[in-house]
Each structure stands twice: as C-alpha cells, then as structure tokens.
Amino acid sequence: MVKKTVLLFPGQGTGKRGMALDFLAVSAGVKRLFETASETMGRDMEELLQTADEESLKRSDIAQPAITLANLAAAAFLCEKGIEACACAGHSLGEYAALVVSGSITAEDVFRLVKARGEAMQKTAERIKTEAGDPPGMAAVLGLPPEEVLSLIASGPRGLYAANINSPRQLVVSGTAEALSEAEKRFKEAGARRVVRLAVAGPFHSPLMKEAAEEFRPVLEQVTFKDPVIPFYSNVTGTEIKSGEEIKRLALLQITSPVRWVDEEKAINAAGGFEQVLEAGPGTVLQGLWKEISGIPCLGAGTVKELELTLRVNFRFT
C-alpha cells in the first residue's frame, strides 16, 4: 500500500551542481522532462546542471529554471514509483513546480514562466545594485518570534519588509542596505539569537521588486491557468486556492509579497487527509521548517538514493 503524500518543493538557494542528473540517468520520464525544458528554454539543461557552480546558481536567471527542473524531476521519478501527490505547495520559486504537479499549468508553460521570471528578477537586482552604493538584500532573523519581528518592521526603519515567514523561530526580511543595518541592531536588542545576511541577488518578496513584477506580467498573461486537480497552497495567502484565475493573479503578487510558509504548513495540517510529507527537490530546508510546525515528519526526495530509501522505509508497507 502507498501512503497518501503531500509534496513540498524548495525554492531558490537550494540548488547545487549536478542536481537531478541521477534521476535523468535512470528515468525515461525525467529524460522527457529534460527535453521539454531544453526545448522551451532554448539551451541544453543537462549541460547547465552539469556545469552550474555555486556562484552561477545565485543568479535568478540560471537558478530558477534549474531548480524548477530539479524539483519536477524528483516529482516525475516519484510518479514512476507509484507515488502521486494528494496535495502540494512550494516555497517561493518552488511554488512553480507545485503548479505543474497540481495540474494548474503545463511543464512547457512553467519553463516559459520561470525563464521570464528569473530574467526579470535578475535584471531588477542588477539595476538596484548599480544604482545603490550598498545594494539591498535579505537577512534571516533567528530566535525571535515572527510577531515580534513584524512589530519591529512596522515601527521602522523605512525600507524594511517581511519576506519569508518561515517558522515560529525564523523570519526573513528584505530591505535597503541602510534598513537592514539598522534593523539588525534592533532585532538583536529585542532578543534575536542571530541575524544572518543571505547570499542572494536582491531584496526578493518585497515591494523593491515591483519593476520585476511589471516586466513579468506580459509573459504571465499569455499562460492559461486551470483549476488545480489536487489541493494547491499559495505563498501569498497561506491558504488553499481552488481557482486557476486566482492562482494566476497571485503569481504576479508573489514577486512582491511575503511567503507565508507557516500559514501554508498549518493549512495543510488542518486539512488532513495525508499520511506522509516529502520535500521533492534539492536540499533539506523544508524538512527542517516542517518539523517546527508538525509532529509528522517531512522526508527527503532530492536524490535517487535518498528517495528510494524513503520509499522503502516509509511508503510501501503491508
């Protein structure tokens, strides 16, 4: 018997050289997915994943299609093993893999979208970096409850925004260089254990990315979004979204809005109807965040070896 499974897809920052190539080596479905991605992207995606290093994977225009492909490769391999999602969600960029798995958009459309989204976000980040003496960015606030962080953001400094509400002990902020420096002092004074600057290209999920959203809009408008066939949970609202048109509207807002990951996890748990949760894609970030919310473990599915072990131990039972 196969357990009912929720799939969670990681976002930008989780990618590494060679990801998903082990799936490609053993799966006909993943091979077709790579072919679709390469044709849509206009470049050899296998070669990209073989050669992309840590520095290049910081670039949104490279990381977004590469990580989306890795996420969907994990999902395709799972499907070949008889494991299909009964619900899905994705963190930030990971939401695009969830859109495909939910049936809202096609694989061809998702690569068109993440190509345009990544290019728009990279361009905006580079413009901001060029115009600013010290570029804006992001920082993770650790050990301070999100409600306290949000209260401090509301009282200033100007140019500081909540970006990712990740767990009861972690909230990521975006902001100008000046705002981040001032906020770091205030967060530590309020009791934060650490404030860690993130190695990212720009101040994502904040109003500072408005230009990227506007550039992405024309490409988004060309894509048809269907109503999902399984529950899909939105970063923008933190809730299940059943309408394809609403999902499309929220996809644009997601670029400048915070990721309400805690709310999404709580909504998935409240809905129930599942027996297991998998992080389908590279890294272990979502496994750690899920553990802080739910007593149900989130298991890894980022490599063939990891996924097969997970399946053997946790999914097939008599």
Task: Give the model confidence (pLDDT) of 72-128 as tens digits.
Answer: 999 999 999 889 899 999 999 999 999 999 999 999 999 999 999 999 999 999 998
The total of other beta-carbon atoms located within 10 Å of residue 189's CB is 9
| Catalytic hit among 104, 205, 206, 234 | 205
Please say whether the dihedral angle defined by the alpha carbons of residues 208, 214, 219 and 223, taken in this order, is positive or negative.
positive
- What pTM did the predictor assign? 0.95
Catalytic residue status for 205 = yes
> What residue spans of 222-284 are helical by DSSP H?
244-253, 261-271
**Residue 317: predicted pLDDT:** 39
Q: Which of 27, 38, 60, 92 is catalytic?
A: 92
273 φ, ψ (degrees, to nearest 5): 85, 10
Least reliable range by pLDDT among 93-97, 191-195, 214-218, 289-293? 289-293
Show the domains of the chain with their CATH numbers: 5-128+207-315 (3.40.366.10), 136-197 (3.30.70.250)
Active site residue 92: yes
pLDDT digits (tens, 9 = 90+) for 143-180: 999 999 999 999 988 999 999 999 999 999 999 999 99
Has residue 219 got a pLDDT over 70?
yes
pLDDT for 55: 86
The pLDDT tens digits of the residues spanning 138-151 come to 999 999 999 999 99
> Are residues 3 and 36 in contact, defined by beta-carbon separation less than 8 angstroms?
no
